[in-house]
Amino acid sequence: MVYANAMLAGSFIVAAIGAQKDLRLWAAALVLHLVGYLALALRPHLPELAYVLIANLAFGGLLSLFLVGVNRLRGRLSGVQWTVWPVVAMGVLAIIVTDYGLRTKLISAIMLLQAGLLLRTTVGYRRENVGRRGAELLIAGALIWSAALVVRISAELFGWDNSESVSDSTWSQLILYLASLSATILIAISVPMMLRERSEAALQASERHYRRLIESSNEGVVIISDLMIRYANPAACGLLGAPADALIDRPYLDYLHPDDRELSLRVHQLRLKGQGDHQSYEVRLRRRDGVERWVRMNGVRYDWGGRPATLAFMSDITQQHQEHEKDRELAFVDPLTGLDNRRRLLMRMHDALEQARADNHLVGVVFLDLDNFKPLNDKHGHAAGDDLLIQVGQRLRQRVRSTDAVARLGGDEFVVLLPGLGPDMEAAWSKARPLAEGIREALGKPYQVVPVAMRDESPHLERVITHRCSASIGLVLSHPGEIDAQGLLDRADQAMYRAKEAGRNRVSN
């Protein structure tokens, strides 16, 4: 029996020193169990008081430690009075009670109380953790221990046992020893099971918790393994425009814009190597219904069924992207006419000159200023002037080629960029001048202007303002190999002033 207890205690100590720190308390209890039986085994070599005191303190201490251990598994702290005082009482009884029979009955009663508390606590743990086999084994051990103690007390009370000292080998002592060993074996088996079951329950609870968080998240969450979608939460299904069962085991690249697939694949492969965690990037999702959504992708490496995967998070940034594009567009567009502004015009001119140099072509610039615009503003207000400027923009769009660009520089100044006029200077002039003359003729026709104050009403004929407004136009061509966009624009501006000085409503070089 001593050898069996030594083996159990030793195995628990090894496990406790290793990964299972929660086993330390139980290892200490088994060590006390071993100490108790060693004291009994060495009783021929020890004073009676010594081995009786050591054995009682050891057995009382191990039951107290078992009780503390179960309470810790329940997440509770047992009261000091139920763990300390039984041990103290058993030690005092071992010292002051010399009558073997009385001492046996009192100490057995205390141990029975401890076993009962252990049984009640374990039953409570079992009730809180349905289906726990480890707790059931511990309950069986506590019941065996309690039953043996009841038999021992009954034998003393009813005279069934005539032993007069611990050294007497009687049937009741044999039952108690065997029951103690059996209970200890059951407890030794039950404790690792209870710890494992507790860990599994905690893991399952954690998984349920995080699954609820993911399922209720407004952010799309997908798991990608072997380039396939393995999981998609409801938010991701909404972004991808398909239910979960239609997404699972489908190639995730199918749901990305073709231009964004290479980037996404590269980041996915980096994450699989553990090098791209939390690297964010923006891609376009292409849904089955044809709708595109901009999302910001982020993620980390993840294990899915033993296979390397990525846990990806998708934040819908479609609205922000649209607003950004709108702001970006406004930075290059004249808000009144919708034409290019000076900033975009210079960018287009620079690109056109670079291309012209590469192709050995010429570029033309038409710079125009309205001749009779200020009197309209002065007499009818800026609302009427704005209406005329809008109509000027519309007429310019109608007169230019699809390859030309139209811009408003501000006020009543407009520019038309004429790229791709060919390599020959004379041929380029023969193309550019008719375009400039056509613009002059189109802008010279009368305008029907309605002031803003009248636009919400049904305009009558007498409320419509008829205004004539010609244009002075400067036309220039780039020099071969010229790349100075601002210089070319300045030359066109100077040519426009020459048109004004020459009498207006004309095209000057």
Dihedral sign for Cα 492, 494, 495, 497, please: positive
Distance in Å from the first CA to the final CA of the chain:
118
- Which helix H or strand E contains 408, and what residues bound it? strand 405-410
Cα–Cα distance, 115 to 246 (Å, whole number): 58
Bridge partners for 303 per DSSP = 308
Q: Are 91 and 54 in contact (CB under 8 A)?
A: no
Catalytic residue among 303, 369, 412, 424: 412
- Residue 446, phi then psi, degrees to nearest 5: -60, 150
Angle at 400 between CA 396 and CA 405, to 5 degrees: 85
**What DSSP state is assigned to residue 275?**
S
- Residue 468, phi then psi, degrees to nearest 5: -105, 135
What residues contact residue 194 under an 8 Å CB cut-off, 6+ apart?
A: 73, 125, 132, 134, 135, 138
Question: What 3 state SS string does 70-124 have?
Answer: HHHHCCCCCCHHHCCHHHHHHHHHHHHCCCHHHHHHHHHHHHHHHHHHHHHHHHH
Q: Which of 60, 42, 66, 142 is nearest to 108 (CA)?
A: 60
Cα–Cα distance, 278 to 66 (Å, whole number): 46
Give the 3-state secondary structure of residue 495: helix
Residue 412 known to be catalytic = yes
Residue that is written with structure tokens 């020893």 in the block: 177
Q: Are 454 and 324 in contact (CB under 8 A)?
A: no
- Residue 76: count of CB within 10 angstroms of its CB: 13
Q: Which amino acid is at 461?
A: L
Bridge partners for 407 per DSSP = 340, 415
Residue that is written with structure tokens 């069996």 in the block: 4
Dihedral sign for Cα 290, 296, 301, 302, please: negative
Q: Are 65 and 32 in contact (CB under 8 A)?
A: yes
Q: Are 135 and 71 in contact (CB under 8 A)?
A: no
Q: Which amino acid is at 244?
A: A
Q: Which of 325, 404, 326, 395 is nearest to 366 (CA)?
A: 404
Bridge partners for 36 per DSSP = none
Q: Which amino acid is at 110?
A: I
The set of catalytic residues is: 412
